[in-house]
Structure 1
């Protein structure tokens, strides 16, 4: 049972606010898709250890500065239908909107402007680059490349007595459930059976803006005149 109204709304990025998986998209660009995409699928379905899968994918990809900038462009071009309106309406209703993702922070940051989300509310894993732009590693201390990391970070971001909800497609998002933060599984881009089965609330419409009826209470919905798309 969801408990709106919420003060904070957390969104995953890949396959939620955007229609792509960042690592998979980079792998397709570099010709490594056949090797890497099954690792992503297994990690998102909870079939392998997430931290191990994260490290394995980045060791395969070794993305440089050009790759990150290219990925940022793909994110902007592949926003999920209704994402901009959804974020804008939530903010108009006074909600603090965050992106909490295991994606590369440098690419995610460039979503701040098109989505209107403050840079300080975008959370990802920092890529380490050499002075010439080549790959040097990633921030292995980030909770977002660890099992249960999203749950840990979201709890840290919550103020006293604040209520929050997380929207995401994968099992790393589902880990937030049961920590005092409500969870909505999102299957509008990719339906992940493990999440669809375990989530108390599961949303499969392609246009994500209709989530407003779940993220706002009746009074808030009435005040902004939300209508399904």
Structure 2
């Protein structure tokens, strides 16, 4: 029997999963519920999934480059260009300094998706490990993780680089989340190194869809 969960978000997740699997993969609703119950870990995308915003767009707005960035973000989400191409182009336009990033973090109010805090808390109470896997940036996601009581080491995201002067120097292209297929790499890594048997991934973009497999189920927002 499923544990009672106060969050309506949990109900929405299950309903969407049931609909996705029953139509696209001919699996009945009980199957996806069983996958959810059996999951050792649940991995979440962050932007427009855990939060109601796109972090890089918010940073762009703060730096006065919002209009130029929004269309590129849309193209990246739709898979019209490789994720790494889009990420590089957007960062070259924003060109954020270390000072700007710090100032943004000081004033920005995180907009969590309704019910997500309760859902994450319930998963943790039931012994499920929760991870944030994002094509966004670690420094922008860390405050989100703190609000959800998710350990910093459970964040897999991109990392900005700065020169010693504080000027923007690019991003770490060795991070798997900086490229298409990277979320799948992270989930496979978690299975191999942490011994997870069943992982459910939840997200809203093409890079999230790519994560299953190795994720045992993907729930699209």
The TM-score, its normalising length taken from structure 1, stands at: 0.75
Q: 1:92 to 1:151 in 2, by over 3 A?
A: same
1:49 and 2:109 are equivalent in the alignment: no
Contact 2:110–2:144, Cα closer than 8 Å, also in 1: no
CA–CA distance in 2 between the matches of 1:54 and 1:95?
31
1:101 and 2:134 are equivalent in the alignment: yes
| Equivalent in the alignment of 1:80 | 113
> Which stretch shows the higher mean deviation, 99-108 or 70-79?
70-79
| Equivalent in the alignment of 2:167 | 134
For 1:31, which of 64, 86, 100 is the aligned residue? 64
1:168 and 2:192 are equivalent in the alignment: no
CA–CA distance in 2 between the matches of 1:88 and 1:72?
24
Contact 1:18–1:75, Cα closer than 8 Å, also in 2: no
Q: Which runs of 5+ in 1 are unaligned?
A: 187-229
CA–CA distance in 2 between the matches of 1:21 and 1:45?
14
Q: 1:119 to 1:25 in 2, by over 3 A?
A: same
- Cα-Cα RMSD: 1.8
CA–CA distance in 2 between the matches of 1:101 and 1:109?
11
Q: 1:184 to 1:139 in 2, by over 3 A?
A: same
1:182 and 2:214 are equivalent in the alignment: no
The TM-score, its normalising length taken from structure 2, stands at: 0.78
Contact 2:97–2:168, Cα closer than 8 Å, also in 1: yes
Contact 2:187–2:214, Cα closer than 8 Å, also in 1: no
> Which stretch shows the higher mean deviation, 8-17 or 30-39?
30-39
Q: 1:74 to 1:10 in 2, by over 3 A?
A: farther
CA–CA distance in 1 between the matches of 2:85 and 2:164?
27
| Equivalent in the alignment of 1:13 | 46
Higher percent of residues as helix: 2
